[in-house]
Amino acid sequence: MASLSPPAGRRLLSPSPGTARRKVVNRLMEAIATIAAVLAVGVLFLIVIDVAIKGLPAINLDFLTHNPVPFGQTGGGIADSIVGSAILIALATLLSVPVAILIAIYTSEFASPRASGAIRFALDLLNGVPTIVTGVFVFGLLVVGGQQSGWAGAIALGIVELPIVARAAQEVLDLVPRSLREAGLALGLRRWRIVLRIVLPTAAGGLITGAVLGVARVAGETAPLLLTSSIWSDLSITVNPAQAMPNIPVKIFELSESPSPSDHAQGWAAALVLILFVLVASVIARAAQERSRRRMRG
Amino acid sequence: MSGRPPHDHRSLPTEREPTTASKDPDTDERLDLDALSELGDGTGHTVSVEDLSAYYGDNRAVAGVTLTFRANEVTAIIGPSGCGKSTLVRCINRMHEEVPGARVQGRVLLDDEDVYAPGVDVTAVRRAIGMVFQRPNPFPTMSIFDNVAAGLRLAGVRGETLRERVHRALRAVGLWSEVKDRLDRPGIGLSGGQQQRLCIARTIAVEPEVILMDEPCSALDPIATLKVEELIDELKSRYTIVIVTHNMQQAGRVADSTVFMLDGSVVEHAPTQQIFTNPRDERTERYVTGKFG
């Protein structure tokens, strides 16, 4: 058995052989891990800064408040796309969030563990469906034989948004302690009352966060809209979802295809608007998530 | 109601001086026995368990238990971990069946009605048989007032009646003077002992006949424990109480009779004094003298 006392001639606290080499390896691994982390964050910064540099020159109040000008002219803005996007996102959210929350309530309160697991898996699969496929699906369902519409676009976006909000809602409902439900049951309350008045209010913060995450995601989805809401003739604000509605992602695509450099500049500016919106929404969602997690632990 | 200012739920316009009150030596909080005497319907209710078995899947946790819990008495159930005492108690208010895969055989009678009879409304059973849990579990999104009112409100009680019953419950558990000025503050802002008394107030606000307590003091400090035990002693004048405890000294302090359980069966059920000083069964003797458990 090796003796634990230092070999003759060495002091008690002097380093053992190989320490120097181990220290170097340690530092190297630390450096590699740090570089990887910096790279990941760096890419994000690069994208944002690049878009900002190219897009800022074209951003002004006119850009945000005026409609596009007819082909060939310069100037104008993306007001119609901003409004159109807002309406599409709002409709998609109105369609998907209630359904998502109901799904989450079902899996956390009423379903058997097996059914619950199957539904979670199905939602994860839905989350992984390429959005172009979702777009084609809704196209075949609602646009073929008719025309594009804001409704079709909203439904396509809603299908993309649903699994995000549902999974987030499931996570947060599972975090509500079982003891709260038991307290409600022991008082002689019915299941639905317990869900509505005790479980949902307790989970409210996290549910809102999930909805914001869903919004952040679909705000920039292009493929679903490419087939359902990409051909609009009006150069003014549209609020009727029965027609195709202008929207920012498709507009960026259009502007980038145009030969005119001023259109390109507007394209960068629109990209900047979009990425800022998504960033801000994500930050808000993350902050709200932290707060509600802290409150539920405390 | 002439001459009285409009009610708001934060305070009663006039507060009677309790004519009979027991004083808690640590604060001048008084357990309001008058408030307590207004609760309940005045008659005692017996709970009997007949050949009760409870299962988690194939695992039998309670094996053919037959017991009677006498009206207006405190019965303690003691025994080592895993002996089935919590499961037994959860069968009484039909909480056991909420666990997936759990089932119950046998009868549980409240006076002469079987709570497991087909056609019985399980929520009515739970309103008549209340439960206090080991860890205080006030509803975090509700104020103190709303917590106590929860069982009432979500069963349709409103307005003046609601306010009176909430105030009465808070006075009966001795929380009134501590919370009367902050009834709209969150329930989780209270200390552990206060939270547990809040949960007891919430339970008695729906005016059950029986109160089940599953180790109600194990998460509390000794002073809070003493307050809750004193409350239990007062509550038995109005309710039948069953308390599960792993603390034998507590059983000795609060219980009129004690049940000793082992491996899902009842070994002995006798007046508390007898269980601790002169038990009939050798296993009981070994448990209460600390030789195992």
Per-residue pLDDT tens digits for A140-155:
999 998 889 999 999 9
Q: pLDDT tens-digit profile of B27-45?
A: 434 556 666 666 656 678 9
pLDDT at residue B21, as a whole number: 44
The region, left, alpha or beta by phi > 0 then psi within -120 to 50, assigned to residue A206 is: alpha
Domain ranges of chain A: 79-297
Which residues, including other chains, have CB under 8 Å from residue A97's CB and lie 6 or more apart? A161, A165, A211, A214
Question: Which helix or strand (DSSP H or E) is residue A127 part of?
Answer: helix A113-128
On chain A, the residues whose CB falls within 8 A of the CB of B139 are 180, 183-184, 198, 202
Q: Which of A187, A216, A224 is nearest to A285 (CA)?
A: A216
Task: Say whether A198 and B130 touch across the interface (CB within 8 A).
Answer: no
Query: For chain B, what percent of residues have pLDDT higher than 90?
Result: 68
**Three-class secondary structure of residue B195 per DSSP:** helix
Identify from B91, B115, B126, B141 which residue to disrupt to test chain A contact, counting A C-beta atoms within 10 A and taking the largest count.
Answer: B141
Least confident of A62-66, A134-138, A212-216: A62-66
**B206 close to A (CB below 8 A):** yes
Burial class (CB in 10 A: 0-12, 13-18, 19+), B155: middle
Cross-chain CB nearest to B150 (options A113, A187, A204): A187
Q: What's the order of all strands across the beta sheet hosting B210-214?
A: B129-132, B210-214, B240-244, B74-78, B257-262, B265-271
For the record, the structure tokens of B128 come out as 């008549």
d(CA A105, CA A108): 5
What pLDDT digit, counting tens, does each position of B207-251 carry? Answer: 999 999 999 999 899 988 998 999 999 998 889 999 999 888 999
Q: Do A189 and B151 touch (CB under 8 A)?
A: yes
CB B157 within 8 A of CB B166: no
B17 touches chain A (CB under 8 A): no
Cα A181 from Cα A178, distance rounded (Å)? 5
Per-residue pLDDT tens for B137-156?
999 999 999 999 998 987 78
Report how far residue B31's alpha carbon sits from residue B171's, in angstroms, rounded to the nearest whole number. Answer: 7
Q: What CA dihedral angle connects B69, B75, B79 and B84, to 10 degrees? A: 40
Evaluate if residue A197 carries a pLDDT over 80: yes
Q: Quick check: A186 contacting B, CB < 8 Å? A: yes
Nearest to B151 among A112, A179, A187 (CB): A187
Give the pLDDT score at A112: 87
Report how far residue A86's alpha carbon sits from residue A93's, in angstroms, rounded to the nearest whole number: 10
Q: How many CB atoms lie within 10 A of CB A275?
A: 17
| Helix axis angle, A150-175 to A200-219, nearest 10° | 140
Residues 6+ apart with CB under 8 A from B184: B9, B10, B143, B144, B145
Taken in order A110, A116, A118, A122, the sign of the CA dihedral is positive
Q: Tell me which chain B residues have a C-beta less than 8 angstroms from the C-beta of A204.
A: 141
Q: What is the mean pLDDT of residues B48-56?
A: 95
A185 touches chain B (CB under 8 A): yes
ipTM score of the complex?
0.82
Residues from chain B contacting residue A295 (CB–CB below 8 Å): 140
Is A79-297 in CATH node 3.40.605.10? Answer: no
B189 at the A interface (CB within 8 A)? Answer: no
The CA distance from A179 to A186, in Å, is 10
State the pLDDT at residue A9.
63
Three-state DSSP at A247 gives coil
> Do β-strands B102-110 and B113-114 pair in parallel, antiparallel, or remain unpaired?
antiparallel
Give B123's contacts in chain A (Cβ within 8 Å).
Answer: 188-190
Tens-digit pLDDT profile for residues B195-211 = 999 999 999 999 999 99
- What is the percent of chain B where pLDDT is above 70? 85
Encoded tokens for B226: 């003493």
Closest residue by Cα to residue A228 from A157, A141, A129, A143: A143
| B95, B100, B125 ranked by CB distance to A113: nearest | B100
Domain B30-288 falls under CATH 3.40.50.800: no
Residue of A169, A162, A102 whose CA lies nearest to A131: A162
Q: What is the pLDDT of residue B33?
A: 63
Got the DSSP string for B94-117? T-GGGSTTEEEEEEEEETTEETTS
Q: Which residue of A has its CA nearest to B97?
A: A185
Torsion sign (Cα): B196, B199, B205, B207: negative
Q: Which residues of A touch B133 (CB under 8 A)?
A: 179, 182-183, 186
- The residues spanned by each domain of chain B are 30-288
pLDDT band per the 50, 70, 90 thresholds, residue A18? confident
How many Å separate Cα B268 from the centre of its chain? Answer: 22
Tell me which amino acid residue B201 is: A
